[in-house]
Structure 1
Amino acid sequence: MARYRRKDEGLLTLALQAPWYFSAVFALAIFIGVFVWLPRTNVFGFYRAGIYGGIRPVALIALFIFSAIALYKFLQQLASERGGYTYAFEPKARPPWADLGRGATDDQRVEPTSQPTPGALADGHASAAEARSAIARPTEWSLTVLRDMEWKRFEDLCLAFYRAKGIRAESTPLGPDGGVDVRLYRDNADPQRCTVIVQCKAWGERSVGVKRIRELRGVMAHEGVDKGFFMAPGRYTEEARAFAAANHITLLDGRQFLAMLQRLPAEVSRNLLAAATAGDWSTPSCPSCGTKMVARESVRGAYWGCAVFPKCRQTLGMRECKT
């Protein structure tokens, strides 16, 4: 499960996260209150001139800042409607990858799926980002595909892979997962006993250190499971590999997972690729509500924010881009 971080809920940060009309209303309130109402009121009596003189410079600065934010967010929204990010709610229509991950029944297997066309996505009320992603989606598995995949789609792919292999697999619900993303049940004598726990980290090219592997070992001990899998599209440090080898943990990096996907029957492999890259498969999903996130700016830099803010306030850090 992707870990998320919270931002300080200051007024300026709130304005940068909220839609453009939040800042516009705030700027309008400053203008009316300070520059229209205050000069005409006698509430402060003799002290009115002094109070007005002290408030006016601060109000001018605040008016400029919030007006600038409102204009920037408005232009950003116009750009999103022509191909950028959007603040709209996700479509309620069932997405083509719904059967790939969470909410699937225990005995569900990956079924052959046809690749939707851009027109079909539009008919299903898919977002512009989904339509663009569907047009440019890859036609074969590669390390780039695995490393560009957002965290939830990567978890769903891992789940679907095990089901395609005929293994009973269950995913954990959204929210804190306790260090487990997928549970495997391979004990025929006791079908309800989890035999393997799987942790997934869609960290792109970033290497996984020993700390995460130790955490998985702790979860294994807590749940009484003797075997663990750690799946990541990047690599592992030597210390992580040594610890895993001594603690019944199998580390699967991007190259190994790619080879496993390519060794599947051709039709099954194509179906997994079509499902895993359907719609917008690279923009992160919200760890709390599952809605696609949007790129936002704050005083601390760029980050991913939930598209339904302020209803959901979860955020994610952005991957560092190599130059």
Structure 2
Amino acid sequence: MSRRYRRSRRDPGLFEIATTSDWKVSAAMAAVCLVAATVLIPAVLGNNRILGGLVQVFVPLAWLMTVLFGSIALIRFSQQRPQATPTPPRSPASRPTQAAVRATETSLPEADKALPAKSLASTAAAPEPRPTAWSRELIDRIEWKRFEDLCRAFYRVKGIRAETTPLGADGGVDIRLFQDDTAPERCTAVVQCKAWNQAVGVKPVRELRGVMAHERVNKAFFMAPNGFTDEARAFAAENRITLLDGKLFLAMLERLPEPLRQQLLDFATEGDWTTPTCPSCGVKMAARDSKRGRFWGCTHFPRCRATLQMRSATP
């Protein structure tokens, strides 16, 4: 609203305020007029020789305003008092929406009335067919958290105890492997997962080598669907780090027995498996727009301000 528009608006008068406000407002106005008629006007003007004659004018006027505002207060009170039924009063603004909801409910089958509105809206679009076989495209489309969980599940079906790290800063490692039967609680290898749409450079691989030294493990695996740079491969070869790109991971999945391969496929593509998970909250993120382009933002914004770059390779 512009300043010019605000200035041109007519200020409401006392009568308009009384008739449109709560009954307590008009009751307070009546009380003020009563005090003015019985105390203020006689006290201020009664002892004044010049203005004393005005008492006969203002006192009846004050009494008239007292009766007027008192009557408005009674009318407003009768209109606003609670109804005898336990149903709470509905505001006029909400009635059109509630009527539309009732009309929609009466047109739906009984079984559909129990569904949330969001679910009813989503039934209009046919769900995407669930993949029936592993492929490089499928692996590339898996969101980062599901890819991490898939890697953990892969090691578990191979008979290796694998545990993922909690959400948040992972310290350069996503999964820890435990293969020492003599010391079951001792970590024997660490795994880092990066579901990026580009090759992983040498910096994350160096960070994984630092984790190896810190946790005193001799083996590490780096799993990234879109591969690694030549510098990263050279550093990994010198530091006992096994690099697994999408092509190699697909071959490892296809070598599994059919029941296990299908089990992992069902796990990887269950529910919403392409929308990224918030790295802080663990909820599914939503697509956002900005001047720099589209990105993924947490649905708990502004409580959570986590964002992720949108993968251009993801349909």
Three-state SS of the structure 1 residue aligned to 2:172 is coil
CA contact 1:150–1:283 (8 Å) conserved in 2: yes
Q: Give ranges in structure 2 of 5+ residues lacking alignment.
A: 12-114
- Matched ranges for 1:18-29 at <5 A: none
Give the letter aligned to residue 167 of structure 2. Answer: L
- Superposition deviation, residue 308 in structure 1: 2.2
Give the letter aligned to residue 258 of structure 1. Answer: L
Considering only aligned residues, what root-mean-square deviation do their CA atoms show, in Å? 2.9
CA contact 1:199–1:231 (8 Å) conserved in 2: yes
Partner of 2:270: 278
Partner of 2:156: 163
Once residues 127 and 247 of structure 1 are traced to their aligned partners in structure 2, the CA distance between those partners, rounded to angstroms, is: 54
- Superposition deviation, residue 251 in structure 1: 0.4
CA contact 2:178–2:187 (8 Å) conserved in 1: yes
Identity across matched positions, percent: 59
Partner of 1:260: 252
Once residues 133 and 227 of structure 1 are traced to their aligned partners in structure 2, the CA distance between those partners, rounded to angstroms, is: 45
Give the letter aligned to residue 202 of structure 1. Answer: A
Q: Give the alignment's TM-score, normalised by structure 1.
A: 0.60
For residues 1-54 of structure 1, what are the alpha-carbon distances to aligned partners after superposition, in whole Å with 9 as ceiling and x for unaligned? xxxxxxxxxxxxxxxxxxxxxxxxxxxxxx2x7455455599xxxxxxxxxxxx
Q: Give the alignment's TM-score, normalised by structure 2.
A: 0.61
**1:176 aligned to which of 166, 169, 175:** 169
Give the letter aligned to residue 140 of structure 1. Answer: A
**2:298 aligned to which of 298, 302, 306:** 306
Partner of 1:21: none
**1:141 aligned to which of 129, 134, 156:** 134
Of structures 1 and 2, the one with the larger relative CO (CA 8 A, separation 6+) is 1
Three-state SS of the structure 2 residue aligned to 1:297 is strand
Three-state SS of the structure 2 residue aligned to 1:302 is strand
Q: Give ranges in structure 1 of 5+ residues lacking alignment.
A: 1-30, 43-121
- Matched ranges for 1:207-222 at <5 A: 207-222=199-214
For residues 93-121 of structure 1, what are the alpha-carbon distances to aligned partners after superposition, in whole Å with 9 as ceiling and x for unaligned? xxxxxxxxxxxxxxxxxxxxxxxxxxxxx
- Superposition deviation, residue 209 in structure 1: 1.4
The count of aligned residue pairs is: 212
Change (3 A) 1:234 1:162: same
Once residues 199 and 217 of structure 2 are traced to their aligned partners in structure 1, the CA distance between those partners, rounded to angstroms, is: 25
Give the letter aligned to residue 196 of structure 2. Answer: W
Once residues 291 and 180 of structure 1 are traced to their aligned partners in structure 2, the CA distance between those partners, rounded to angstroms, is: 21
Partner of 1:71: none
Highest CA radius of gyration, 1 or 2? 2
**1:317 aligned to which of 304, 309, 313:** 309
CA contact 2:172–2:192 (8 Å) conserved in 1: yes
Partner of 1:248: 240
Change (3 A) 1:39 1:161: same
Partner of 2:221: 229
**1:191 aligned to which of 184, 189, 198:** 184
Once residues 199 and 132 of structure 1 are traced to their aligned partners in structure 2, the CA distance between those partners, rounded to angstroms, is: 37
CA contact 2:141–2:314 (8 Å) conserved in 1: no
- Superposition deviation, residue 157 in structure 1: 0.2
For residues 37-92 of structure 1, what are the alpha-carbon distances to aligned partners after superposition, in whole Å with 9 as ceiling and x for unaligned? 455599xxxxxxxxxxxxxxxxxxxxxxxxxxxxxxxxxxxxxxxxxxxxxxxxxx
Change (3 A) 1:135 1:321: closer
Partner of 1:96: none
Once residues 238 and 156 of structure 1 are traced to their aligned partners in structure 2, the CA distance between those partners, rounded to angstroms, is: 27
Once residues 130 and 196 of structure 1 are traced to their aligned partners in structure 2, the CA distance between those partners, rounded to angstroms, is: 45
CA contact 1:141–1:273 (8 Å) conserved in 2: yes
**2:287 aligned to which of 295, 298, 310:** 295
Once residues 133 and 211 of structure 1 are traced to their aligned partners in structure 2, the CA distance between those partners, rounded to angstroms, is: 43
Change (3 A) 1:317 1:221: same
